[in-house]
């Protein structure tokens, strides 16, 4: 069946090429019936039709179709009549035959499309854009009944070439192709050329819902399908501050830049539910900052990042005007289910991660410079310039719910406040620090939790940070060793 599908798709491209030349010739015919361009185009169409017939013949032998065969003969006959009319210089007959040719060629296209699907059972996909994303689409698309017919590009240096054996065509060629799906992978303004075409905008999906760090966390949870005994949630300080490779446990770090307690809890709930029947989880680190209780992602300047989480958790907290984007995503997901095989979200991550991994390595291996030192005070004052009682109330409820869930599942909660540099912590507002410390002391009295506060730790030097607030890899190794020591002393590592 693979051979039949490949052949049918190849001859579909030839049919499209013939139709393009045929319709281009119409305007020339109106000016000069006997121009050299017209006669040259007729020869091109006949040559392509011969090749089409030769390639299709083995398929028609295996899967006969009298309708298609008769359509092909009819078009060949009309070309013979057209040549005869030219030889006789019969203007009226040339125009009449060319009109019939257009009509019967259209019928051939329609009947061939029906025949192609009947034989292959495969629906055709056009991909707009030639890039890293589109070149990997074959690994997403369901190979049983969907296949890429052609790529479309506006880059002249690419058109006429092939990508993995699939032709790269011009934009104008779309109107000559017959297909069921159109996938957009680049920032092109294009509308479906046919009313019944289903259009999936993968470029828009990536722009609105993809983030390297978030997908990396998702991949660590579902990509390797491994048993774990501990996990970490939190914001970027915890994301870069704890190196799970330095811990002698199966630990997942699900902390992500700009993540708030609402999404920390979503991760925790997901992982506890996912691993309920597996190996028991011993402990969980809840990474907090001094402003965590005052922070709501959906109300911050990073609020659009909340949409990145929707494909995983199907919930968004507090964002206004979110219905339109949610509806668009739900429509995308429904169509993606027709086209792609699971887990396509992880495949998208595998495709795009290389673009971010090298930058991430450079960032986390860096060392704080003069600019970072000078900006530390301003960042501390900005981060602490928060007074949102409603948000604090909401986050306290979430944190309490989070800790209760852990304890109910016999998971030890450990709150960690990561270190920041000496250029930041002296300038962080005392009110927020005091309120946070008082609340955490109340939580310690109410629940059996550990609180490890390294915020002003003197064990960390300037060489341990890549900016005024984030540990680099050297600093992360140092903090992780301190955390490991605490776990050993608390018998949470299972060795005592």
DSSP notation for 388-401: -HHHHHHHHHHHHH
Which residues, including other chains, have CB under 8 Å from residue 191's CB and lie 6 or more apart? none
Mean pLDDT of 245-255: 93
- In this predicted structure, the answer to whether residue 413 has a pLDDT above a threshold of 50 is yes
What length is written for the chain? 496
Which residues, including other chains, have CB under 8 Å from residue 261's CB and lie 6 or more apart? 292, 293, 295, 395, 398, 399, 402
Residue 194: per-residue pLDDT: 65
**pLDDT grade, residue 275 (50/70/90)?**
confident
* Cβ 297 vs Cβ 319: under 8 Å: no
Place of tokens 């040549």: 83
Cα torsion for 477, 478, 481, 482, to the nearest 10°? -150
Model confidence over 439-463: pLDDT tens digits? 999 999 999 899 999 999 999 999 9
Residue 3: per-residue pLDDT: 75
First to last CA, the chain: 61
Residue 225: per-residue pLDDT: 61
Residue 386: per-residue pLDDT: 94
* Cβ 206 vs Cβ 184: under 8 Å: no
Cβ burial of 97 (10 Å; 0-12, 13-18, 19+) is buried
- Written as six digits, the tokens of 124 are 């055709």
- Written as six digits, the tokens of 137 are 């689409």
- In this predicted structure, the answer to whether residue 2 has a pLDDT above a threshold of 50 is yes
How far out from the chain centre does Cα 89 lie? 59
Residue 111: per-residue pLDDT: 94
Residue 355: per-residue pLDDT: 81
- In this predicted structure, the answer to whether residue 103 has a pLDDT above a threshold of 80 is yes
- In this predicted structure, the answer to whether residue 293 has a pLDDT above a threshold of 50 is yes
- In this predicted structure, the answer to whether residue 495 has a pLDDT above a threshold of 50 is no
**Domains observed in the chain:** 2-120 (1.20.120), 123-208 (3.40.50.720), 212-303+342-489 (3.40.50.1110)
Query: β-strand 198-201 against 181-184: which pairing, if any?
Result: parallel
- In this predicted structure, the answer to whether residue 124 has a pLDDT above a threshold of 70 is yes
pTM given for the model: 0.87
Model confidence over 158-202: pLDDT tens digits? 999 999 999 999 988 888 888 999 999 998 877 655 668 999 999
Model confidence over 346-355: pLDDT tens digits? 889 889 998 8
- In this predicted structure, the answer to whether residue 204 has a pLDDT above a threshold of 80 is yes
Instruction: Return the SS3 of 283.
Output: strand
| Average of per-residue pLDDT values in the chain | 91
Nearest alpha-carbon partner for 130 in 110, 150, 105: 150
Cα–Cα distance, 321 to 324 (Å, whole number): 7
């Amino acid at each position: 069946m693979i051979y039949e599908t490949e052949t049918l798709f190849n001859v579909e491209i030839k049919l499209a090429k013939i139709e393009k030349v045929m319709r281009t010739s119409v305007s020339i015919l109106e000016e000069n019936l006997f121009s050299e361009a017209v006669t040259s185009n007729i020869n091109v169409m006949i040559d392509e039709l011969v090749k089409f017939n030769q390639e299709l013949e083995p398929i028609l032998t295996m899967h006969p179709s009298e309708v298609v065969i008769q359509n092909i003969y009819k078009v060949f006959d009309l070309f013979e009549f057209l040549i005869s009319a030219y030889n006789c210089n019969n203007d009226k007959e040339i125009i009449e035959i060319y009109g019939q040719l257009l009509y019967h060629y259209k019928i051939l296209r329609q009947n061939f499309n029906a025949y192609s699907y009947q034989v292959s059972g495969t629906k055709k996909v056009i991909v707009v854009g030639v890039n890293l994303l589109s070149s990997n689409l074959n690994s997403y698309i369901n190979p049983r009944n969907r296949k890429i017919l052609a790529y479309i590009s506006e880059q002249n240096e690419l058109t006429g070439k092939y990508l993995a054996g699939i032709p790269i065509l011009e934009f104008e060629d779309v109107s000559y192709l017959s297909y069921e799906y159109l996938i957009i992978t680049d920032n092109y303004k294009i509308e479906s050329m046919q009313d019944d075409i289903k259009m999936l905008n993968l470029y828009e999906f990536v722009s609105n819902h993809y983030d390297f760090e978030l997908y990396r966390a998702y991949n660590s949870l579902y990509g390797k399908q491994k048993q774990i005994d501990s996990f970490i949630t939190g914001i970027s300080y915890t994301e870069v501050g704890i190196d799970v490779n330095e811990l002698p446990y199966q630990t997942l770090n699900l902390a992500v830049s700009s993540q708030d307690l609402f999404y920390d809890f979503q991760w925790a709930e997901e992982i506890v539910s996912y691993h309920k029947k597996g190996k028991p989880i011993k402990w969980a680190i809840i990474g907090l900052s001094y402003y965590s209780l005052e922070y709501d992602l959906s109300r911050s300047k990073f609020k659009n990042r909340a949409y990145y989480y929707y494909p995983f958790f199907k919930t968004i907290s507090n964002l206004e005007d979110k219905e339109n984007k949610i509806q668009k995503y739900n429509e995308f997901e429904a169509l993606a289910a027709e086209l792609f095989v699971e887990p396509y979200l992880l495949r998208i991550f595998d495709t795009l991660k290389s673009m971010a991994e090298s930058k991430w390595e450079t960032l986390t291996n860096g060392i704080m410079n003069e600019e970072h030192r000078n900006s530390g005070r301003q960042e501390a004052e900005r981060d602490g310039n928060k007074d949102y009682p409603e948000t604090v109330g909401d986050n306290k409820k979430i944190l309490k719910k989070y800790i209760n869930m852990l304890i109910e599942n016999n998971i030890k909660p450990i709150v960690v406040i990561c270190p920041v540099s000496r250029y930041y912590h002296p300038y962080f507002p005392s009110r927020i620090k005091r309120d946070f410390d008082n609340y955490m002391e109340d939580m310690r009295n109410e629940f059996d939790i550990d609180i490890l506060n390294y915020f002003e730790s003197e064990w960390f030097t300037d060489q341990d940070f890549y900016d005024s607030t984030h540990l680099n890899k050297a600093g992360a190794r140092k903090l992780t060793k301190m955390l490991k020591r605490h776990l050993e002393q608390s018998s949470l590592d299972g060795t005592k």
